[in-house]
Amino acid sequence: MTSSAAQQDLAEPHLRQVLAGVGLDVEYVRAEGNTLHRLDENGRSVPVLDMMGGFGSLILGHHHPRIVARAKELLDARVPVHAQFSRHPYANEVAAVLNDIVHRELGTTEPYHAIFANSGAEAVEAAVKHAEFDRVQKVSALEAEIVAHLERTWEAVRGGTARVPGDVLAALEVDAPADPLAGFDRAAAEVQARNAAELARPPLFLTPEGSFHGKLVGSVQLTHNESFRVPFRSLAAQSRFVPLDDPGAIVKIAERERRHLLDLTVTGDRVVLTERPLPVFCAFVLEPIQGEGGIHPLTAEFVREARRVCDALGCPLVADEIQSGMGRSGAFFAGSLIGLRPDYVTLAKSLGGGIAKTAVTLIRASRYRPEFELLHSSTFAKDGFSTQLALTVLQLLEADDGAVYRRAAERGARLRAALEAVRTEYPEIVREVRGTGLMLGLEFHDQSAATSAEIRELATAGFLGYAVAGYLLREHRVRIFPTGSAVNTLRLEPSVDLTDAEIDQVAEGFRGVCRVLHAQDGRRLVGA
């Protein structure tokens, strides 16, 4: 049945128009491995090499035969997909395999508990909510301690064994009355008022500049790109962004944001005013290899400093491995290659094997609050279908002593060498090739001073990367996109089954782009 409404474009029509502007509004009808198929004007199937890989969701490719077979098996067996509030042995098995990997790669024997979700942003928000739940309980414990101190101090003042000295009243900017009890009342009222003002402040997050952690209400505030983040800033707690090339800035930001609660205790016969550090930072969230920010691997020095400052603050360090994890880097966790020791880890994308939508947040046992399980849930999370597929994915990744990880490293090195060769041939066009394993980026030099008006305008509007993507699709049958926040960088995230021929096809495509940009042939670039 075709409704009359189906003739209209109702599903995000504006986005479709934008894609159409650069020749990317293509419908794909079939997907396998690293290939997507579209139909040409005559209805014939045209293969397209997919270097996007579902924004990094397809480490094993489209429709991996073992994952498809498992999905069919599960459906044929009428495996319960929805049986909320029952035992979930498969979710538990997924968590167990993930723990084995954590213990092998992240240098710890501590268990990590698993909270399941449906998407990456949801896994990040579960992490953030858990971290905040932990923070507010620590704050409540501190508040309770201060209340108990105030009571004890009041008893001492009332009993005449202690009095509030003038320097305490002066520090609190309250007048000193003759009556010691009135002095205490004024001091205590001021302490309570100042503490209440501090406690009303929302927490802060730490995250590197260039971060991308999702686009939901909370996670978008951890996403650096202003156009995604700023319109929604009043909806959630804010982040302080740390420059990637200046790990020393982490401690400076922590010092600048330091806050405290006031406390009144008794020493000898004097009431003493002390400052009690307030946990201000909810979490430090980072991607070991930034994806959407332009493919920037973090350095070992940066993550070491992040760990040091988090330990000093008592704040959890969250590794967002949603894009970099699941083997793409050449290890299961990209963070393991730079010595990252996180308290929380988020995974999504490839965890569902390119078929299911699933995500997970892992939390170190020593920081875990079991009560959180009764506060946070989602109807679809931890369902029987997606967790069992995730288990198959993990078995495939872990098979043959990690052959997939070795292959990601080997294929990544080969692809990188091919891209580096293009850069060597066109150093004035290609600025840099960077990344780790099969998470690579190729950055073009800025073209906003190009002699071709078309190229200049595209570059100035931030659309050059999309125009290059349109050209590669049209002329080389390669599907590739720029990163959203670094528009001159094209991102390559194919599956581990990338062949030499496919690598050659990509390199040839980029040579074509370089020739067009070198010749300043704007019309050819946009297919005019």
Angle made by CA atoms 389, 393, 398, in degrees to the nearest 5: 145
Query: Vertex 151, ends 149 and 155: CA angle to 5°?
Result: 115
Report how far residue 98's alpha carbon sits from residue 333's, in angstroms, rounded to the nearest whole number: 10
> Binding to ligand 5B6 by residue 360, rule CB under 6 A?
no
Nearest position to ligand 5B6, beta carbon: 120
Least distance between ligand 5B6 and beta carbon 431 (Å): 19
Nearer to ligand 5B6, 119 or 329 (CB): 119
Q: How far is the CB of 211 from ligand 5B6 (least distance, A)?
A: 8
HEC string of 52-91?
A: CHHHHCCCCCECCHHHHHHHHHHHHCCCCCCCCCCCCHHH
CB of 323 to ligand 5B6, least distance (A): 3
What are the angstrom distances between the C-alpha of 24 and each of 16, 21, 478?
9, 8, 11
Of the candidates 123, 41, 71, 72, which has an alpha carbon nearest to the alpha carbon of residue 321?
Answer: 123
Minimal distance, residue 432 CB to ligand 5B6, in Å: 18
* Residue 116 found at the interface with ligand 5B6 (CB under 6 A): no
Binding of ligand 5B6 at residue 329 (CB under 6 A)?
no
Residue 523 in tokens: 């019309």
* Residue 523 identity (one-letter amino acid): R
Report the residue from 112, 184, 212, 333 that binds ligand 5B6 according to the rule CB under 6 A: 212
* Alpha helix (H) residue ranges in 200-248: 226-229
| 214 lines the binding site for ligand 5B6 (CB under 6 A) | yes
β-partners of residue 207 are 241
Residue 128: which of 366, 360, 318, 362 has the closest Cα? 318
Q: Does 70 bind ligand 5B6 (CB under 6 A)?
A: no
CA–CA separation, 263 and 364 (whole Å):
32
Compose the 307-326 pattern: x for residues touching ligand 5B6 by CB under 6 A, - for all others.
-------------x-xx---
CB of 197 to ligand 5B6, least distance (A): 34
- Taken in order 125, 127, 130, 135, the sign of the CA dihedral is negative
Q: By CB under 6 A, what part of segment 16-55 binds ligand 5B6? A: 55
With a CB cutoff of 8 Å and minimum separation 6, the contacts of 172 are: 186, 187, 190, 191, 194, 262, 273
Q: How far is the CB of 216 from ligand 5B6 (least distance, A)?
A: 7
Instruction: Kindly state the smallest distance separating residue 287's Cβ from ligand 5B6, in Å.
Output: 5
- Taking residue 140's Cβ as centre, other Cβ atoms within 10 Å add up to 11
Binding status of residue 124 toward ligand 5B6 by CB under 6 A: yes
125 binds ligand 5B6 (CB under 6 A): no
By CB under 6 A, residue 342 contacts ligand 5B6 = no
- Apex 501 CA angle, 327 and 486, nearest 5: 55
Q: Where are the beta strands (DSSP E) in 107-203?
A: 112-117
* C-alpha dihedral, 52 to 100 to 336 to 243, nearest 10°: 70
- Extract the tokens encoding 241: 């962004």
Please, what is the minimum distance in Å from the beta carbon of residue 325 to ligand 5B6?
A: 9
| Interacting residue with ligand 5B6 among 218, 288, 291, 465 (CB under 6 A) | 291
Beta 439-444 vs 344-347: how paired, if at all? unpaired
- 239-268 residues in contact with ligand 5B6 (CB under 6 A) are none
* Residue of the chain from 22, 74, 121, 131 that contacts ligand 5B6 (CB under 6 A): 121
Q: Which is nearer to ligand 5B6, 324 or 392 (CB)?
A: 324
Residue 119 binding ligand 5B6, by CB under 6 A: yes
Query: Nearer to ligand 5B6 by C-beta: 121 or 503?
Result: 121
Shorter beta-carbon distance to ligand 5B6: residue 146 or 347: 347
Closest separation in Å from C-beta 56 to ligand 5B6: 6
Instruction: Tell me which residues in 392-451 interact with ligand 5B6 (CB under 6 A).
Output: none
Q: Is 483 near ligand 5B6 (CB under 6 A)? A: yes
CB of 139 to ligand 5B6, least distance (A): 27
Beta strands in 343-415 (DSSP E): 344-347, 359-364
Q: For residues 138 and 121, what is the distance between their CA atoms, to the nearest angstrom?
A: 26
Q: Which listed residue (287, 343, 443, 493) binds ligand 5B6 by CB under 6 A?
A: 287
Q: What's the CA gap between 461 and 390, in Å, rounded? A: 41
Among 345, 348, 389, 450, binds ligand 5B6 (CB under 6 A): 348
- Near ligand 5B6 by CB under 6 A, which window of 45-53, 77-85, 116-124, 303-311? 116-124
- 120 near ligand 5B6 (CB under 6 A): yes
Contacting positions for ligand 5B6 (CB under 6 A): 55, 119-121, 124, 212-214, 287, 291-292, 320, 322-323, 348, 483-484
